[in-house]
Structures are given as C-alpha cells and as structure tokens.
Amino acid sequence: MVTRYSLFYNHLKNIEESEGGLDKFTKSYKTFGVNQLADGGIYCKEWAPGAEAVFLAGDFNGWNPSSHPYKKLEYGKWELFMPPEDGQSPVPHGSKLKVVIRAQNGALLYRISPWARYVVRDEDKVNYDWVHWNPPQSYIHKNPSPKRLKSLRIYESHVGIASPEGKVASYKNFTYNVLPRIKDLGYNCVQLMAIMEHAYYASFGYQVTSFFAASSRYGTPDDLKEMIDVAHSMGITVLLDVVHSHASKNSEDGLNQFDGTDSCFFHSGYRGNHQLWDSRLFDYANWEVLRFLLSNLRMWIEDYRFDGFRFDGVTSMLYHHHGIGTGFSGDYNEYFGLHVDEDALCYLMLANHMINTLHPECITIAEDVSGMPALCRPVAEGGGGFDYRLAMAIPDKWIQIIKELKDEDWNMGNIVHTLTNRRCEEKYIAYAESHDQALVGDKTLAFRLMDAEMYTNMSVLMPLTPVIDRGIQLHKMIRLITHALGGESYLNFMGNEFGHPEWLDFPRIGNNESYHYARRQFNLTEDDLLRYKFLNAFDRDMNKLEERFGWLASPQAYVSEKHESNKVIAFERAGLIFIFNFHPYQSYVDYRVGIETPGKYKILLDSDAGEYGGHQRLDHNTEYFSEQYPHNYRPNSIMVYIPSRVALVLHNMDIPK
C-alpha cells in the first residue's frame, strides 16, 4: 500500500512540476486532435513518437497527403497551425479528415486521430471515417446535474437496443421514450453502455476504437448532450460505462499502430495483447497515455455532462495475469505482490483523484471480481478512490442456485452470506443478474426460471401453470432480497425488471445480420393481457419504497433469521422488517419474527399481491402488534402469516415516514 501511494504521489508531483498542474494536464482534450480556434483558425496536435513525419489531409485540401505538415516538437509530439481563410475555418464543419503518418519504413499510414470527436461509417464501407465536428451552434445544456445521490438505483442501458423495433435505436428515441420509463420505474441513475465509439456493434461497446467520440450509430454528439440534459431535468444521474482497460486492435479506425509501431499507446509484444479479448493493453506507465486517458475522462464530464463512470475490466487492469485462469479466495497474498500491475492501479488512483478534485460531485464504480482490498477507500488512505464496486458474486450465486439445486435444497445461510459478504466501509452495488447473462448462449433469471413456457403461458387468459407461477414469484423475491440486503446501491439491466423473454444477440454473420434479438420489447409491459406487467409493477413499487425509506443508504441489515428447514430469511434495515419464505409449498401461520423496535406494524410491500401476479393470501389491513418476547437475539417479536414463496416488507406505524 505504501509503494502504491508513493507511486501515485510521485506522478502527481511530476504533473504539478512539469505540466502546470492536474487541471492543465487533464485539459489536453482542448488542444490535442483538431481544434477550432476563436479567430476561425485550426490548431492540431498529436503524439506519434514512432513517426518520421506527420501530415493532415482531407476534404479541405483535396486529400493531398503532404501539403499540410506538422511541426515536430519534443517527446514525440507534433503540431500544426492553420490560419483562418477570409475569417472562416480552413476546415469546414462536416469535412472528412485523416492524420497521415510517415512510418519509419517510409510507408504512408492514413489514421484517425486518437482525439477525434466524431467518426461515422457509410453503409457501403467497412471502416469509420473521421469527420470534423464544429457545428455553427452546439447544444447548450439547460439543466444542472442532480446532486450527489445517497441511494443509487441504477438502470443499466444500451441506447441501440432500447426499442421494440429491429433496428439500431437512437439517442432521440432514448430521450423521449426510454427516459420517462426509467423515471416511472423509480430508478434515479442511468448507466450507459456502448457510448464510446466501437466499430464492431456486437462487441457490446467493449472494443473501443475512438475514445473521444460518442457513437454515431445512434445520432450526433448534440443528440447525446440533449439526452443527458433531459435526464438531468428529470433528476436522473447519468453514468458512462468507460473502457480504459483495453482497446480494439483496429488500426485503420482505431488506436492500434497509430504511429506505425507496435507500441505508442500500448505495451509492445506479448504484454500489449489481451489473450482472451484479442485487444491491445495500455502502457499505464507512459506519461502520454496518462494524459490521454485522464483527459478522456474529463472530456466526457465537461463536454457531455456525464455524472461519473463505471470503469470496465478493472480486474484485468489490476493484475499482470488479467484474472485469466485465476481464482480469488480472499487471501491477501492474492492482492499484494509482483503479479499486481502497480502502474495500472496508480492510473486508477490518479483518475479518481482527478475526478474527486475537479468534479467532486461525480461518482465512480469499479467492475472488479477479485475483491482487491481498499479499492473503494479514499486515495489519501492508500485506497483506489472508487465510490462503489460491483458485488459480482451475487448474480453468479443466483444462477448457480437455480441451475444446480432443487427448491427444497436452497441454502438460506449461503444466500445470506453471499448477499452480506462485503468489506466494511466499502460500498457495493448489488444486482441479481448481469448484462452478460442476457446475451445469446446464456439465460436471464426469468428465462432460466420459466424457459419455453414464456412463449405460451404468459397470457392472463391462460391458466397459471406451476412453471410460470414459480418463475414469477421467485423473480420478485430474488430481486427484492438482493435490493434490500446485497449492498449500498442496486443495479438492473434494461428489460430484466419485467423478465424480458429470450436473449440478446447483436447482428452478426452467424445470425444473418439480424436485429430480431437486438432489441428490448418494452411493449410487453403495456399489454394488459400479459403477465409481464406484474413483474414491472413490482419492480417499480420496490424502487419507490426504497426512495421513501432509503435502505441502500442505511447501515447493513441485521439478519435475525436464516432458517434452513423452514426456508425463511428475516432481517431489519432502515426501520423496515423484511421477511422471505422461499419454501416451495409450506406456508406458516403465526410465525414468530424477532424485531428491535416495539410497535404496531403493517404491510408496505407484499409480493403476493394481485397487482404483482400473486395469490392475494394476505389481508393488508392486518395490524401486527409486537410482544415483549425476545426471539433470535432481538428484544421483541411479532407473529405473522407468511405464505410460501412470498416476500413481505413491514413498517412500524408508530414511527411516521
């Protein structure tokens, strides 16, 4: 920990001494690439240490590869100034451009600038083209960003699939059709995947080619800015799924071999290639790579008004083995040693320090499966500086239980352990299923629970079959217990809230470039004859209840019961009592539940209610009076009726809320 902090401090000190401070260093996105000057001129700057010469070519000069040479500067940097022509920009808005690199072997390489803000692909082309984006009037944000949230309820989204239609959906569609839905469901944060430009749509956005460009397949940069602005007007925080763990191997329209060498932004040779992802790995010890990545984060915050980031692939960054073929048991030897990539960890510390210093209202999330200690502690303590980390063991546990165990064999203690096994004072984001489970070849929770019957028996006009009944009841219970017990934030991938049928499959050669499965059928929840409406309503009311009581921002729950034979779990959090009966057929009358606070209790949320597709076995007018009868190490207790496969949330009516 001392070594890590020393490395971080040395980097920070060098930035202050040689670059004029963190603010100036990370504002490089305003000078690198091709930038419009106030007088109409153009200033261009690139880092290409392996280049013999650098030129700018494009529509503006008839694609002459040598008429506009860059001037060579120190440390592999190159610059070009183009004065205005009759008071106008020499490079008009919408012009296509390329940086022309003369490599060490004399070859001319036509490249997209790593700092390009807008790239597009014509339908008849394979590669992307760089387009100079300088509209006469850029979008002006009208709404302030929401205040930093205490309880994060995250709706993980992909703009392109956010429509029932079989096509690539747009930023405009998301703005006017999806954001109102997210708001209605009670989510206060949207996490956007696949925004950073990626040439291969089926990569789910994780093979980035242009780091500073918002994906043009959904619309223009201004369309994205409007979408974020409208979200802010609804009080919705917007996070970007940022990919700084690796980059696409594309060279024609990506970062790979930008200057004609194997290195530049990446490690050369074996260390610069990810063996599973078939992608390039950044050299985080390189000064210009730090400038590039830190400036990238700042650009997304300041130009687009993103409110923070979910850092993808953090485990791959943290270790030289990238987590490949490695299990993590929690032994501290797994987190400290020569196998840890201290340069990558130092970069993450710098990134979080920069964000916390310049934009303290922003949020950062780490996607780390290893459990690296102190990743979510402040940098000043030697930690990684993240605000949250994903509780990645939880979705794996639910899938394992459903795949491998009969309902009678579910282990209550193991479920509780998985949901509560987190380091004190490090915040975790709980989620019942991941976006990867929605992809072709895997199954969502709903599809695993109900499978083929989702095609035939989800109509309310059909008899409720045992498979559909079980699936609907367990889907609600799994999501509620994950939400209430699993962390300090909650995440849901779009569509999973209502048990979206089938799988997610992007157009590719293997499916004849079909968009049939690359969509989200939100219309299913609007059909009053389908049972999807029940799951959708439960998800909405679950979020609304958290908004009212704030259990995610409360201390960890006190679990008073995890009864193996009865299949009952009971706990208290945020002044509420949560009771779950996972037994497949056994209901309990006058079941005693230990509680801390005496009083009169009533039901606030009942998964068995008719509006949620339940069997309506409980009277919501019932009042449960506590007894001064100790039970399960609690000073008081109440007696409740808890039917099979039902989750209840009770509130003390003597305490107003």
Strand ranges, E, within 367-426: 388-390
CB-CB contact of 198 with 215 (8 Å): yes
- Nearest Cα to Cα of residue 344 among 264, 433, 426, 283: 283
Instruction: Give residues with Cβ within 8 angstroms of 115, minimum separation 6.
Output: 29, 32, 33, 34, 46, 212, 292
Distance, CA of 223 to CA of 138 (rounded, Å):
10
Residues 497 and 209: their CA atoms lie apart, in Å, by 31
**Distance between CA atoms of 493 and 434, rounded to whole angstroms?**
7
Cross-strand pairs, 120: 129
d(CA 580, CA 648): 6
Please give the structure tokens belonging to residue 114: 């790593």
Q: Are 353 and 16 in contact (CB under 8 A)?
A: no
Which tokens is 52 given?
Answer: 């013999």
The residue written with tokens 């490249």 in the block is 111
Nearest Cα neighbor of 239 from 392, 364, 375 is 364
- Residue 330 burial (C-beta neighbours within 10 Å; 0-12, 13-18, 19+): exposed
Tokens matching residue 341: 């990539």
Catalytic residues: 312, 367
* Whole-angstrom distance, CA of residue 33 vs CA of residue 112: 10
How open is the CA angle 575-576-579, to the nearest 5 degrees? 150
Contact in structure between 242 and 192 (CB atoms under 8 Å): no
Query: Is 483:538 a contact under the CB 8 Å cutoff?
Result: no
Nearest to 366 by CA among 383, 388, 348, 344: 388
What three-state secondary structure class fits 387?
A: coil
For residue 315, give the amino acid letter.
T
| Structure letter (DSSP) for residue 232 | H
Q: Give the list of residues 6+ apart from residue 304 with CB closer than 8 angstroms, or none.
A: 214, 221, 224, 225, 228, 240
Rounded Cα gap, residues 371 and 17, in angstroms: 35
CA distances from 108 to 44, 263, 336, 474, 479 (A): 19, 18, 45, 61, 56
Judge contact between 602 and 622, C-beta under 8 A.
Answer: yes
How many other CB atoms sit within 10 Å of the CB of residue 555?
9
**Rounded Cα distance, 549 and 317, in Å:** 37
Residues with Cβ within 8 Å of 416's Cβ and at least 6 positions away in sequence, in order, are 485, 559, 562, 569
Query: Sign of dihedral through CA atoms 19, 20, 26, 28?
Result: negative
Amino acid 587 reads S
| Residue 604 CB coordination number (10 Å) | 18
Beta strand pairing call for 489-493 and 152-158:
parallel
Adjacent-strand bridge partners of 279: 274
